[in-house]
Amino acid sequence: MSTELKSAAAVSHPNIAFIKYWGNRDHHLRIPASGSISMNLGRLETRTRVTFNPALTADRLILNGEPTSGKQLQRVQTFLDHVRRLAGIDLYAEVESKNDFPTGAGIASSASAFSALALAAAAAAGLQLSEAELSRLARRGSGSACRSVPGGFVEWLAGEDDQSSYAVSIAPADHWDLVDIVAVISQVHKPTGSTEGHALAETSPLQKARLKSAPARLEQCRTAILRRDFEALAEVSELDCNLMHAVMMTGARRLLYWQPATIELIHAAGEWRRSGIPVFYTIDAGPNVHLICPAAEADRVAAAAAQIQGVKEVLQAPAGSAAHLLAEEVNL
């Protein structure tokens, strides 16, 4: 076993799901109860360097320049333990990670975080992994992270075990010039985290029906992306979003992530679409509204969204590429 200092860095984008991931078949391995489809969010990125260092006596996590402890560090340690097992090494690592998007902005950073970590840690540990293997590895850290490994428009094949559950690219980023206009909404309370939320999904009397009808929506969404059929993508995405929130708000604990501005934006998106502007909404486990539209409409939609009361900030992200390693000499 080598005792040299081994380092690698990677970059990854967050992603926005059109067909949502909510509920697990296996919570520990994060095998989802159904497949999901997303678009990587270009411009926004996480950069992560992992250095296995014989001089360390414990794993370290430096997040946006700050040494981090507690649950965040623990989750990274558990992930690194898995990488060490796969690589047969026993060195502690320093993980340095930076997001170029505000962490409080409500864009899930765990997807890009664990995707970048998977690539950097695997490379630093000397593992030679395929894209599917890297996607499986990222999934162990955060379910949706597996979708940030391949590029562009991505489908997570639910599978039924660790081996069969990973994401693949449906189409590259330049296949369709869609833009995600993220309307960031100020929120009074910290919402329930996704991990707890996934566990609550099965307590809703609606979850089984949602899962049963998921394959049809996956098919519709995949086809809409391949055909660049905006209206079809809009219809299936809004329906699927509402289905997830329907499950969220009817569990043993009722999770209502929406804020007043969320509702205002949902209604606004409907009015804009009826008035002829191609745009639809989708919402993750938080109050922010993602307005998806062709690039040609992006500035107009972003300006309109910024006018809505309660919208704190508006970000724009086009379809983004696959996670990839960075050259050794690049600064994060």
* Binding of a second copy by 306 (CB under 8 A): no
Q: How far is the CB of 302 from a second copy (least distance, A)?
A: 20
Residue 327 contacts by C-beta under 8 Å, 6 or more apart in sequence?
A: none
* Binding of a second copy by 263 (CB under 8 A): yes
* Binding of a second copy by 238 (CB under 8 A): yes
Q: Are 32 and 21 in contact (CB under 8 A)?
A: yes
* Binding of a second copy by 203 (CB under 8 A): no
Looking only at the bridges linking them, the beta strands covering 178-185 and 289-294 are: antiparallel
Q: How far is the CB of 213 from a second copy (least distance, A)?
A: 4
Nearer to a second copy, 256 or 295 (CB): 256
Q: How far is the CB of 161 from a second copy (least distance, A)?
A: 27
* Binding of a second copy by 260 (CB under 8 A): yes
Q: How far is the CB of 42 from a second copy (least distance, A)?
A: 29
For the chain, give the longest Cα–Cα distance: 65
* Distance, C-alpha 160 to centroid of its chain: 20
* Binding of a second copy by 261 (CB under 8 A): yes
Binding mask 119-148 toward a second copy (x if CB under 8 A, else -) reads ------------------------------
Q: Are 294 and 278 in contact (CB under 8 A)?
A: yes
Nearer to a second copy, 85 or 208 (CB): 208
Other Cβ atoms within 10 Å of 117 Cβ, number: 31
Q: Six-digit token pair at 26?
A: 């296996």
Nearest 5°: CA angle at 159, between 158 and 163?
A: 125
Nearer to a second copy, 70 or 205 (CB): 205
DSSP 246-258: HHHTTSSS-----
Q: How far is the CB of 238 from a second copy (least distance, A)?
A: 6
Gyration radius of the chain's alpha carbons: 19
Residue 317 contacts by C-beta under 8 Å, 6 or more apart in sequence?
A: 13, 16, 41, 42, 43, 44, 179, 180, 182
* Span interacting with a second copy, options 61-69, 102-110, 148-156, 234-242, rule CB under 8 A: 234-242
Helical H segments across 42-130, by residue range: 70-87, 110-124
Chain residues 148-187 in contact with a second copy, contact rule CB under 8 A: none
Question: By the criterion CB under 8 A, which residues form the site for a second copy?
Answer: 188-189, 205-206, 208-210, 212-213, 238-239, 242-243, 245-247, 249-250, 254, 256, 258-264, 266-267, 309-310
